[in-house]
Structure 1
Amino acid sequence: MGSFVRERVIAAPVERVFALSLDVGVHVDSMTAHDERIAGGVRSGRMAEGDIVTWDARHFGIRFRMTSLVFDVDAPHAFSDRQIRGPFAEFRHRHTFEPAPGGTLMRDEIVFRSPFGPLGRLVDAVIMRRHLIRLIDERNDVLAAQAVAS
């Protein structure tokens, strides 16, 4: 099973960063390089406890669909999402937010596992971890820019 943590201080209040992190429009804006769009579920605004959204995007030249469930929402401190249908054998993402000098410390904890046993573990180690880190960083670049501009 692969995992990683990304942390970033964003020059905006915790409440703003938390709200933008749950906004499906911000997510779509952050994934334009991957032609990501909403294919089902919540289509606009901020997601809440129990909401489901299906994302459709292109990665590695292939179209993927992933349906995620938002849970454990503790505004404005934390929330989680996990894949309930899609390309991974497992995908969980914990988001936490806390006041920090200069704004908000945003922390992303990702746990993932590709299918296909030993082959999936090899893909995770060689390709997927690096790809997912890049995606989270791209998302967080856009989120930070929007939080500061708001």
Structure 2
Amino acid sequence: MRLYQLHSKQTLPISKERAWEFLIDPKNLKVITPKAMGFNILSGGEVPLFPGQIIQYTVSPFPGYTTKWVTEITHIKEGEYFVDEQRFGPYALWHHKHFLTEVPGGVEMEDIIDYKLPLRFLGQMAHPILVKRPLQKIFDYRREKLNSLFGECKNHIPFLEFKSF
């Protein structure tokens, strides 16, 4: 069994409060997701995030394939972090932690996603092309979109790293 981890950091020139307000509105996930992903919230996105919230949506990770994805918001510390976990969807495991930290000149947004693919060896073989590359593109898009919405911190270098265990 191989576990993977995506670790991303981005600094924005806004207050922690403003970043938090944006992140806890489920509708904003569509704003920071590439249109080609076909992301649509089916239910659970009408109110700001709360522990126990179930959000159902559809996503098209690649052309010709659409899947339903169900996540639960499992933990929230107001203004600091929240965690979403897949309950049903394309991954064998998906555990996504979102952190906000005040830094000089703004707020650092940090994501740590631990995930496991289905299909054992086949999933591992598919990872570089069908999973890692699209996740890289999603987070590149997200970084650019957030910069266009809130501005860019010129003195902070974004960070994106993949690991496997």
Q: TM-score, normalised by structure 2?
A: 0.81
Whether contact under 8 Å (1:23, 1:46) holds in the other structure is: yes
Instruction: Go from structure 1 to structure 2 and tell me whether the alpha carbon gap of 1:141 and 1:47 turns closer, same or farther (over 3 Å shift).
Output: farther
- Inter-partner Cα distance in structure 1 for 2:113 and 2:125: 18
- 2:75 aligns to what? 72
Structure 1 segments unaligned to the other structure (5+ residues): none
- Inter-partner Cα distance in structure 2 for 1:20 and 1:139: 13
- 2:89 aligns to what? 86
- Aligned-pair identity in percent equals 20
- 2:155 aligns to what? none
- 1:28 aligns to what? 30
Matched, 1:8 2:10: yes
Which sits farther off after the overlay, 13-22 or 76-85?
13-22
Q: Secondary structure at the match of 1:24?
A: coil
Q: Secondary structure at the match of 2:27?
A: helix
Which sits farther off after the overlay, 59-68 or 27-36?
27-36
Q: Secondary structure at the match of 2:130?
A: helix
Whether contact under 8 Å (2:57, 2:69) holds in the other structure is: yes
Letter aligned with residue 86 of structure 1:
G
Q: Quick check: which has more Rg, 1 or 2?
A: 2
Aligned residues: 147
Question: Higher helix proportion, which one?
Answer: 1
Letter aligned with residue 121 of structure 1:
Q
- 1:124 aligns to what? 127
Matched, 1:49 2:54: no
Instruction: Go from structure 1 to structure 2 and tell me whether the alpha carbon gap of 1:54 and 1:144 turns closer, same or farther (over 3 Å shift).
Output: farther
Letter aligned with residue 115 of structure 1:
P
Which sits farther off after the overlay, 27-36 or 98-107?
27-36
RMSD: 1.7
- Inter-partner Cα distance in structure 2 for 1:138 and 1:44: 24
Whether contact under 8 Å (1:2, 1:124) holds in the other structure is: no
- Inter-partner Cα distance in structure 2 for 1:17 and 1:147: 9
- Inter-partner Cα distance in structure 2 for 1:103 and 1:69: 29
